[in-house]
């Protein structure tokens, strides 16, 4: 399985996230396996834009806030996992809504990137498991980036 951090494009079916003046660049994690690609975060964003407009608007505003600030401190908008097993994984929250988007920060690819990994819907499923999934993706992604950097140096 190969993990990629990809930009959201207008052709993905949701509004463009203008990132011109952002500190962090938004990327969604795409999983590639056996020639097929899947992005749980992008799929959730598209679904919410079509079926949960209020939550989508709130999530979009927080995404912009995360991109523009070094770190968002207000837990109404961004909350770090409280589980000590999870290393630096967060959720973007639709305040007074249900949508949640798990993410981590990364500083690879010559830019600072925050990578949205997977969705969670408040009171549906297990929030700790959603953080666990994000942490698993973070570890795999960071390991893959280290290996790619090592291979580049050896060329």
Each residue of 25-57: pLDDT tens digit?
Answer: 889 999 999 999 999 999 999 999 999 999 999
Looking at CATH, the fold of the domain delimited by 24-29+37-153 is given as YaeB-like fold (3.30.2310)
Structure letter (DSSP) for residue 35: T
CA dist., res. 107 & res. 75, Å (int): 23
Half-sphere exposure of 151 (CA within 13 A, CB side): 6
Structure letter (DSSP) for residue 90: E
**What was the pLDDT predicted at 8?**
84
pTM of this prediction? Answer: 0.90
CA dist., res. 108 & res. 5, Å (int): 10
The residues with which 25 forms a beta bridge, in sequence order, are 113
Helix (H, G, I), strand (E, B) or coil at 85: coil
> What token pair was written down for 44?
């959730």
Each residue of 69-113: pLDDT tens digit?
Answer: 888 989 999 999 999 999 899 999 999 999 999 999 998 766 778
**What was the pLDDT predicted at 110?**
67
Instruction: Find the mean pLDDT for residues 129-147.
Output: 93
**What was the pLDDT predicted at 109?**
67
């Amino acid at each position: 399985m190969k993990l990629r951090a990809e930009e959201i494009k207008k052709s993905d079916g949701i509004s463009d996230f203008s990132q011109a003046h952002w500190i962090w660049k938004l990327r969604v994690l795409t999983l590639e396996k056996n020639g097929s690609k899947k992005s749980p975060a992008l799929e959730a964003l598209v679904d919410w834009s079509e079926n949960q407009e209020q939550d989508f608007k709130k999530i979009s505003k927080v995404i912009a806030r995360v991109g523009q600030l070094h770190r968002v401190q207000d837990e109404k908008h961004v909350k770090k996992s409280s589980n000590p097993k999870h290393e630096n994984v967060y959720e973007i929250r639709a305040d007074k809504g249900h949508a949640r988007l798990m993410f981590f920060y990364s500083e690879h690819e010559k830019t600072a990137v925050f990578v949205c990994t997977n969705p969670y819907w408040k009171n549906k499923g297990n929030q700790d498991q959603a953080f666990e999934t994000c942490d698993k993706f973070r570890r795999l992604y960071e390991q893959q980036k280290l290996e790619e950097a090592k291979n580049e140096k050896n060329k």
